[in-house]
Structure 1
């Protein structure tokens, strides 16, 4: 395969090789729009998949460097956005799985949760670093900075088409299909999905799985532009008021669904409380399901039927894949799906209409 050069990228975009070099080196001096164009073109042309398709970071001598164990450490990049932190009922479990597996392998862990700008790795000593695990939603600019180091990288619950890497996901389409089949088996034909497909790759996969399963069962799904597919404030429950207005409108129009399939448990818990506030009983009047099996679903009244995601296993599998990548650097990148199962609880029953 012919090597892709910076000059070829420059010619493709009609810019100078100097501009391409600046954009790919992360040294600044190029506006964000041009930088994104260069990154996208480099990815499309296959620049990043080449063995030397990255730039080693120079480390300033005046920055203190963390010490690492003799066998090395793994960087864990988990930007503290959308409540992605160790206190999270979801992400905290993933982090525990990563930590446990690294300990079993005799490796240390350096967590980067508050990266400053695009140059957060300049303060990391590459000596002793074995690779990286990215957890949750991460900006393309940060992933590019990580890719430039040349360290192998595995992403958990996230992927970026511009950055070549192995990825680990729960089997989201399979999980949502099982939930929908459970509801159909109870007699439901008026099902509605709640979430935001732009929120994460997992949410999008769950929506697609929901829609496909309904179509396979000759049930018309809601339209792509439906209000309940564009929820805002999912992490904080700020969508509750909007949902209540929607539900009241549906009640008045005698078009309330008999079952609500929520993209995650946080939505399901909020929705269940909102339904109670307007006098609807769960599951007597309407069924509700979640996804992820966080602890709050068991404490909810009623307890919520959900899909159990083996969160710790996601973290453990990411570490194992990273070690496999280190041992077999030339193999094709993999997208690994972890099996999930429905947890049947008290928020689902047959339709009451």
Structure 2
């Protein structure tokens, strides 16, 4: 008996028709966005996307028109213009630089696409000479489904979709934040808080988990490290000015309640810069009264006063490793998917210090 997952099984699982499942997986419309999400979710849970020849692809790579030697083959780089994911970004732009540099080394071209609409994106999926796709930052599931549907090799940088299988490249977010938290505890800090929305991205979640793991381990021998609501502040925004006011208002409440932490571990540098600005407004000395850390090591982190302790993310290296992984995937399509972790480096600067006795 075959163990292959079929569209009919997905339809039975959801109590819908096979026609609805086919439409949802084809990416050609005909069903609502909510229904498509339900179908993709169910297909993923049942293992539909992980099996070979999951469904009929609209075309195979071998069917793409061949390019002549005079024409350079290219890689499609998808970086939707959302959440400040642009080439001008101090973070995303450096990843893009790494991709461009590595592609140029091997003589490949690069086509950058900033698109969120599936319908508008479709015509980019079958251009002459496109070898594969590198996704930078958050990309919607419907867009990734289209890439997967035609069998185009892809690698995602600093993002993963739990429903669509793909190779991914990250920095070692969990380990780096774990070590940074351990360092601050070694400096005498017992009241620590993680600032940033763990649901914002996979990277933010892993950073939060690294922070939380340290507190849970410490709590086994020292109850004062018990994880509580005071240890986590979710904030939203993109620029440091957007984080400054909510952190300031939160700090005012903590000061009144006499529960102000002595160390704030921020999910990225923008949040860290906003936190330092908020403390300055309140007359709280950094790092004498509160130590603050960031993550990413963007240029602004060392230009400010005090300079921000942070984790250096080798952004260009992430881009280069994504290219290398894509080239390997193109050559070996049947290899298991990989999640590559590039090591980050903790940079101890002026914004952290020993707790005063």
Q: 1:104-123 maps to which residues of 2 (within 5 A)?
A: 104-123=105-124
1:331 maps to 335
Query: So what's the TM-score if we normalise by structure 1?
Result: 0.92
SS state at 1:237 partner: helix
Paired residue for 1:269, among 273, 278, 285?
273
Distance 1:19 1:344 in 2: 55
Cα offset for 1:352?
3.1
Cα offset for 1:56?
3.9
Q: 1:136-147 maps to which residues of 2 (within 5 A)?
A: 136-147=137-148
2:64 maps to none
Q: Structure 1 residue 245 and structure 2 residue 246: aligned?
A: no
2:62 maps to none
Mapped contact 1:192–1:261 kept (Cα < 8 A): yes
Alignment RMSD, CA only? 2.1
Q: Structure 1 residue 31 and structure 2 residue 32: aligned?
A: yes
Distance 2:311 2:296 in 1: 5
Cα offset for 1:69?
7.0
Distance 1:80 1:55 in 2: 31
What do the CA deviations read for 1:250-278 (whole angstroms, capped 9, x no partner)?
11222111111101000000110110011
Aligned residues: 345
Q: 1:37-116 maps to which residues of 2 (within 5 A)?
A: 37-54=38-55, 56-57=57-58, 70-116=71-117
* 1:100 to 1:301, Cα distance in 2 relative to 1, 3 A: same
Q: Structure 1 residue 317 and structure 2 residue 321: aligned?
A: yes
Distance 1:41 1:184 in 2: 43
Higher deviation after alignment, 270-279 or 324-333: 324-333
What do the CA deviations read for 1:49-90 (whole angstroms, capped 9, x no partner)?
2332255458xxxxxxxx997452111111111100100000
Query: So what's the TM-score if we normalise by structure 2?
Result: 0.91
Unaligned 5+ runs, structure 1 = 59-66
* 1:68 to 1:175, Cα distance in 2 relative to 1, 3 A: farther
Q: 1:89-238 maps to which residues of 2 (within 5 A)?
A: 89-218=90-219, 220-223=225-228, 225=229, 228-235=232-239, 237-238=241-242
What do the CA deviations read for 1:152-203 (whole angstroms, capped 9, x no partner)?
1111111111101011110001111121122122111111110001100111
Mapped contact 1:228–1:243 kept (Cα < 8 A): no
Mapped contact 2:193–2:230 kept (Cα < 8 A): no
Q: Structure 1 residue 297 and structure 2 residue 301: aligned?
A: yes
Distance 2:35 2:114 in 1: 27
SS state at 2:242 partner: coil
Unaligned 5+ runs, structure 2 = 60-67
Mapped contact 2:25–2:40 kept (Cα < 8 A): yes
Cα offset for 1:215?
2.1
Mapped contact 2:125–2:147 kept (Cα < 8 A): no
Higher deviation after alignment, 189-198 or 3-12: 3-12
Cα offset for 1:331?
1.4
* 1:52 to 1:68, Cα distance in 2 relative to 1, 3 A: farther
* 1:50 to 1:71, Cα distance in 2 relative to 1, 3 A: farther
* 1:55 to 1:111, Cα distance in 2 relative to 1, 3 A: farther
* 1:32 to 1:227, Cα distance in 2 relative to 1, 3 A: farther
Higher deviation after alignment, 289-298 or 248-257: 248-257
Distance 1:27 1:338 in 2: 37
* 1:101 to 1:191, Cα distance in 2 relative to 1, 3 A: same
Distance 1:51 1:126 in 2: 24
1:63 maps to none
Q: Structure 1 residue 287 and structure 2 residue 288: aligned?
A: no
SS state at 1:196 partner: coil
